[in-house]
């Protein structure tokens, strides 16, 4: 029995990295256990945020500065429900440039029916 526990611990430790959160980091919170967010459960976002870390409570919990709909929730969450927020900054990700949507100009008196809108 001890050998199997030791083996399982070694396998876990090989692939597991402890969370590296610091005060002031921006994170996203899982909405898995939030049942009072507006709209149907099926359509709600998987994560809410970004929120700033206000305090660390040991290696397994963080206290967040909540805003908006989540302001009335308890601000301490386990790290299993938190993931780091990565912004889509143009300096960090130069290939993520989305060109602005171009709408062709219509001449005076010309009318066209919209068939399909592409995003």
Chain segment 8-27, per-residue pLDDT in tens: 999 988 888 878 899 999 99
Buried/exposed 4-36: b ≥16 CB within 10 Å, e otherwise: eeeeeeeeeeeeeeeeeeeeebebbbbbeeeee
Supply the pTM of this predicted model: 0.64
Instruction: Tell me the pLDDT band of 115, cut-offs 50, 70 and 90.
Output: confident
Residues 24-77: tens digit of each pLDDT: 999 999 988 887 667 777 788 889 889 999 999 988 899 999 998 888 889 999
What is the mean predicted confidence (pLDDT) over 85-94?
72
Domains of the chain and any CATH numbers: 19-84 (2.30.30.140)
């Amino acid at each position: 029995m001890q050998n199997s526990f030791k083996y399982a611990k070694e396998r876990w430790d090989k692939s597991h990295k402890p969370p590296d959160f610091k005060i002031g980091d921006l994170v996203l919170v899982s909405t898995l256990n939030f049942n009072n967010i507006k709209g149907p459960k099926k359509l709600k976002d998987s994560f809410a945020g970004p929120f700033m870390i206000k305090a660390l409570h040991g290696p397994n919990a963080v206290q967040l500065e909540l805003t908006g709909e989540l302001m009335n929730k308890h601000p301490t969450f386990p790290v299993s429900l938190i993931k780091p927020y990565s912004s889509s900054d143009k300096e960090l990700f130069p290939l993520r440039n989305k060109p602005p949507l171009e709408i062709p100009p219509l001449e005076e008196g010309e009318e066209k029916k919209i068939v399909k809108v592409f995003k």
